[in-house]
Chain A
Amino acid sequence: MDIDRPRSLDETLAAAGEYPDATLLAGGTDVMVEVNFRTRQVRRVISLRGVADLSEWNGTRIGAGVTYRRMELGPIPALAQLARTVGSPQIRSVGTLGGNLGTASPAGDTHPFLAACDASIEVRSRDGGTRILSWSEFLTGPKLNALKPGEVITAVVLPEHLPARQEFGKVGVRSAMVISTVSACVMRDEEGRTTVALGAVGPTVLRAARAEEMMSAESHPSAEALAEFSRLVSDEVRPITDHRSTEAYRRHASGVLARRLLERCLAA
């Protein structure tokens, strides 16, 4: 195995351009697990740790190298909430936003947040310049993203105005639940415009468009409206039955979780 340790973004792009097959290594919490399980063969590594440019966080532009630890302490409520649910202190010390997008797991915990606020992903390469992709263009499937060989995720760009009311949650977090069945992020702005994104219940994170549309029209949602919202979310998610859980339960839990998060937004 060879390893490159660029010190700047330019050096990084140069190395990635030169070795498009190289593995980018940020916190390593996904890569090294695969290496240790022998499910990933790594020949050449480009270590991103020393690249200060990637760790910058200016307002709504969050560098790919920002760790969960920093998200936890940062100013964005739902981002801090989700960061606190990730792994363990060891994982949060080194695991990054860029890595979570690089892995593109359907259960990636930053994804519901990014989807709920319509974030974009900034990617760069030596030869192809800069591309800005919406979250849905970037996350293309389970463990698949739109990165081209030689491209590096540099940052996530959030909209200028984020709704003040935003809530993130997982079913089961912090009470010895068997792995999270569903995660969700709900946002609601002053006008009542509501977004809801759900993770782990489809090939990628997904937005429940009908539920959003229905709820955005409600200025003071009634109990019936909340129930309808919950029902629509259950309807719109696309979970599967596997050896851990059934589709029926995952649908149900998605609806319950989304509704509870919305209720918290409304109470805030």
Chain B
Amino acid sequence: MKINLTINGDPRELECRPDESLRQILRREGYFSVRFGAETGETGADAILLDGRLVASEIMLGVQADGHVVETVEGLSPGRGLHPIQEAFVTVGAIQSGYSTPAMVLAAKALLDENPDPTEGEVREALTGVLDRETGYLRPVEAILRAAAVLRGEKVDPLESTLVRPLADFDGTADLDSDEPPLDLPPAALRVVPSPEVPDTHVVGKPEVKVDALKLVKGNPAFVDDMEMRGMLHAKVLWSPHAHARIVRIDDSKARALPGVRAVLHHENVPRVRYASGGQSYPNPLPHDQVSFDNKVRYVGDRVAVVAAETIETAEAAVRLIEVEYEVLPAVFDENEAMEDGAPVIHDEPDMEGAYDAVRNIVHHIEADVGDVETGFAEADRVFEQTLRVHQVQQVPIEPHIAIAWLDGDERLVVRTSTQVPFHVRRMLAPLVGMPVRKIRIVKPRIGGGFGVKQEMLIEDIVGHLALVTGRPVRLELTRHEEFVSSRTRHPQTITMKTGVNNDGMLVAQQMTTIGNTGAYGTHGLTVQMVSGLRGLSSYNCPNKRFDCHVVYTNIPVPGAYRGYGAPQALFALEAHMEDVAAGLGMDVLEFKRMNWTKVGDPLDVAAELGEGAAEMKFIPVVTSSGMEECVAQGQRAIGWHRRTDPEWRFPSDRPHIRRGIGFAMCMHGSAISGLDMGGASIKINDDGSFNLLFGATDLGTGADTILAQIAAEVLGTPVEDIVVYAADTDMTPFDVGAYASSTTYVSGMAVKKAAEEVARQISERAALMLDMGSPGDISLRDRRAWAPDGRSVSLAEVALHSLHQDQQHQIMATASYVAPDSPPPYAAQFAEVEVDIGTGQVTVLSLVMAVDCGVPINPVTSAGQVEGGMIQALGYGHCEEMVYDDGGRMVNARLGPYKIYRSDEVPRIEAYLVQTMEKSGPFGAKAIAEIPKDGVAPAVRNAIANATGARINNLPFTPERVWAALNATE
């Protein structure tokens, strides 16, 4: 049927089916800024303006829009300029992955058209319909307020770092009782605490605009789905309805007979090749307990079969026509029960490889010892023990998994996919599809968030098989429901902490006994739990340590990598436990922790036992830089720490049902997997003195492309705009392990720096030739020129033209790679201020402050953004996100809303402090920052609840009901 729409000012008559959503129609017409986020429209990525109002195009029929006026971001800045709202999003760093940036921009436009001078509250309200997983909404709100000011004709200041006076002495002692009033800075200020050890730089350390900001803010085609391919088929997967069952019979004849169906694949017609789906370095850790399609299903949402058809609707219809007969088996969901005698055996297949004790569902038994804990416990004055449980959550990238595969002209298999690990995917995919690596190309375009869930070869094998079988391009995009249950999640754990301590507060022995639930498959099961042990036992010095961990199979949807990777679980347990130990000893918690936490020069002894790349590593790394004291001092001041003992503040007299409290957690993470993570980069000069920078590192919205460009620009003496970045394409760029383990800045950054230094050397040589100098040694690069010591110079463009065209022609270029010898820990102090309603048990988090020592932040905006957004994600973990199941293992809240993630009007005040230290091993002094913001929020909130009410809660998350129950138990 025909509908008439005015789209971005153009009257259009469009042909559509009556049941098509407006989003489908708009995307088909090339408005790629209108994106899929959820079947319910609940992420808001699908939002458009209809007659000037924000509406969800996902849940509106095209027909309903007939006769109306539609606006998308494409219409906001036709041509090459930017609308002031877009300009503001770019300049304040409001964009991370950018997947839902167009929707936010439209929400802002609807608001500002009606209300040119909104309050911050009104801006937050206007953004409530667009969920963001990355920014914590801080910078988007700031961008909209700024845009409003610009549109009103006011002037706004450019965003620059605000240098905050250090509070700790340089020898590392701080006045921990600092009760100075907090600094009065605007929310989006970039709070940088400088260190005198850090040398001056031109580009590094500056809040540079993201190199991909333009395409993201304009909604230009950039993501996997923003590409049209002729003859593309659509795939749909048949997922298991049972938590544990054998497939007795599968009959696909009716599905195949459906017109438009091009392939149906399942265990009977796909070769059985074992693999582990986690995107990790070769050789992938055991167990190799997966095959593309199995004759057994192990959780509700496991793969059974897949269909490729001409339309999504046909594929779905065909999926319903596949007849499967199951022999339903008993299932087990709890990690403790799974190890009991008589529990159903989840991996009983004979070709099962590499599990510790498959019959008892034990995938791994990990042990690590330093000293001897038993002696330690015997000698300690006091011993404390408590058991904690952390639950299962999902990463919820706003862009679900999506991949498109096709055969190119050379009949090589190309997969364009939303992945964090293109190079691992290529290597892991090859045996599954039966092709050599050389015949496979993986391309990662922009991706709409990953957070670890895309450190996996999750669906690439499916589209790969289908493209090979059909010879046609094949697209598979998970729905939000599928993303929840059939992708990856965070490992639940039961953790018992036991600590022996002397009365003066010195730790004597510390033991962490963990049972990690790795669900139906072991992917990442070993390494996540190893990181739990590593992080749980690295923060504090202690002569005797023990980690004892069982990783077990159950029938829950599969846990995998999630930003933080085992650390958030461990640090919740550790920091809750340490808080309670301090209370048990009657000590001030900061004093107690400070006495014990690792300082510069202290050994990281468990790292030698539990470091992933460290199988061979037998030396014990030491802490080389730490800004912990400064972090604590800054955080204490910012949160108003002294109030936690002030009864007038804690018991507000006008609201008798409210209790207030403040909590603290110390955090320590790693920067890359030492001895394992490797990244490569190559740089070449162009005629105009600009450079192509190619690397395999995978920007998933974090700003990695920008930071790496900044590093190159710093070395080459150019502005960032002269660096043209192309990344993460296995045919075009050097290898990189990918985006995980907080490695990109630290590892890939070093690779870029090395390559740039070699290019700089070649430029100097050429300049010396052009300037008739004997030796190039003294030439320096700055302001796009090569300078001789005597003040003469040539421009980089002249250098390029000379070397490419004029004399002794040579392509100035270099390739370098770097493997991390070390993993210097970033440190952070996390503070939380909460209000607890003792009537309902509801916790309201009022503010979160995190002061982080990430070495030298290469870009303070992207660094602050990592912290701001990371804290809000972490708050979801602690406070309200939870995968809930019925007795049969079916997730009952696989929908945003019932699965609650924070929205713009709910987030607390958030402040990030970037505390500089000079980490000599990192590029320009940098350490990592991406994951540490995930570590401290849950325990800090937990400790704040304890401060407010006395209730010490050992289970996540802090739902009203759980808190209420705890309050009643305390009374």
Q: How far is the CA of A32 from the CA of B61 in the complex (A)?
A: 8
Q: Please, which residue of chain B has its CB at the minimum distance from the CB of A94?
A: B55
Could you tell me if A177 and B47 are in contact, using CB atoms closer than 8 angstroms? no
A220 within 8 A of B: no
Could you tell me if A178 and B56 are in contact, using CB atoms closer than 8 angstroms? no
Could you tell me if B56 and A90 are in contact, using CB atoms closer than 8 angstroms? yes
Q: How far is the CA of A175 from the CA of B58 in the complex (A)?
A: 26
Q: How far is the CA of A183 from the CA of B63 in the complex (A)?
A: 34
Which positions 21-35 of chain A face chain B at CB distance < 8 Å?
25, 28-29, 32-33, 35
Return the CB mask of B892-904 against A: 1 if under 8 Å, else 0: 1100011010110
Q: How far is the CA of A45 from the CA of B50 in the complex (A)?
A: 21
Q: Please, which residue of chain B has its CB at the minimum distance from the CB of A175?
A: B844
Could you tell me if B905 and A174 are in contact, using CB atoms closer than 8 angstroms? yes
Q: How far is the CA of A25 from the CA of B21 in the complex (A)?
A: 13
Could you tell me if B839 and A256 are in contact, using CB atoms closer than 8 angstroms? yes
A61 within 8 A of B: no
Known: A33-B39, A91-B56, A249-B961. A25 touches B906 (CB 8 A): no
Tell me which residues across on chain B come within 8 A of A246, comparing CB atoms: 961
Could you tell me if A32 and B60 are in contact, using CB atoms closer than 8 angstroms? yes
A244 within 8 A of B: yes
Tell me which residues across on chain B come within 8 A of A174, comparing CB atoms: 905-906
Could you tell me if A176 and B63 are in contact, using CB atoms closer than 8 angstroms? no
B842 within 8 A of A: yes
Tell me which residues across on chain A come within 8 A of B875, comparing CB atoms: 176
Could you tell me if A37 and B900 are in contact, using CB atoms closer than 8 angstroms? no
Return the CB mask of A243-264 against B: 1 if under 8 Å, else 0: 1111001001100110010000
Could you tell me if A89 and B960 are in contact, using CB atoms closer than 8 angstroms? no
Known: A36-B39, A88-B129, A89-B107. A1 touches B960 (CB 8 A): no
Q: Please, which residue of chain A has its CB at the minimum distance from the CB of B50?
A: A93
Tell me which residues across on chain B come within 8 A of A69, comparing CB atoms: 53
| Min C-beta distance of B684 to chain A, whole Å | 47
Tell me which residues across on chain A come within 8 A of B880, comparing CB atoms: 176-178
Could you tell me if A33 and B40 are in contact, using CB atoms closer than 8 angstroms? yes
Which positions 121-176 of chain A face chain B at CB distance < 8 Å?
171-172, 174-176
Tell me which residues across on chain B come within 8 A of A93, comparing CB atoms: 50, 53-55
Could you tell me if B40 and A28 are in contact, using CB atoms closer than 8 angstroms? no
The total of chain A residues at the interface (CB under 8 A) is 44
Max count, chain A CB within 10 A of own CB: residue among B21, B56, B129, B960 = B56
| Min C-beta distance of A187 to chain B, whole Å | 22
Q: How far is the CA of A260 from the CA of B842 in the complex (A)?
A: 14
Max count, chain A CB within 10 A of own CB: residue among B64, B126, B885 = B64
Residue in B481, B879, B892 whose CB lies within 8 Å of A37: B481
B410 within 8 A of A: no
Interface size range of chain B in the complex: 35 or more
Q: How far is the CA of A93 from the CA of B126 in the complex (A)?
A: 12
Q: Please, which residue of chain A has its CB at the minimum distance from the CB of B839?
A: A256
Could you tell me if B961 and A256 are in contact, using CB atoms closer than 8 angstroms? no
A76 within 8 A of B: no
Known: A93-B54, A171-B842, A178-B900. A29 touches B59 (CB 8 A): yes
Which positions 13-47 of chain B face chain A at CB distance < 8 Å?
17-19, 21, 39-42, 44, 47
B311 within 8 A of A: no
Which positions 1-54 of chain A face chain B at CB distance < 8 Å?
1-3, 5, 25, 28-29, 32-33, 35-38, 42, 45, 47, 49
Tell me which residues across on chain A come within 8 A of B40, comparing CB atoms: 33, 36-37
Could you tell me if B129 and A171 are in contact, using CB atoms closer than 8 angstroms? no
Residue in A37, A243, A260 whose CB lies within 8 Å of B884: A243
Tell me which residues across on chain A come within 8 A of B960, comparing CB atoms: 171-172, 177-178, 181, 249, 253
| Min C-beta distance of A78 to chain B, whole Å | 19
Could you tell me if B902 and A252 are in contact, using CB atoms closer than 8 angstroms? no
Residue in B39, B64, B885 whose CB lies within 8 Å of A25: B64
B736 within 8 A of A: no
Tell me which residues across on chain B come within 8 A of A91, comparing CB atoms: 56, 129
Tell me which residues across on chain B come within 8 A of A178, comparing CB atoms: 880, 882, 898, 900, 959-960
B386 within 8 A of A: no
Q: How far is the CA of A2 from the CA of B63 in the complex (A)?
A: 11
Could you tell me if A47 and B964 are in contact, using CB atoms closer than 8 angstroms? no
**A-B pairs with lowest CB-CB distance, top 4:** A88-B129, A32-B59, A36-B39, A90-B56
**Please, could you name 21 A-B residue pairs with CB atoms under 8 Å apart, sorted by A?**
A1-B18, A3-B18, A3-B63, A28-B64, A36-B21, A37-B40, A38-B316, A47-B64, A88-B903, A90-B41, A90-B55, A91-B56, A93-B50, A94-B60, A171-B842, A176-B876, A176-B880, A177-B900, A178-B960, A179-B900, A244-B892
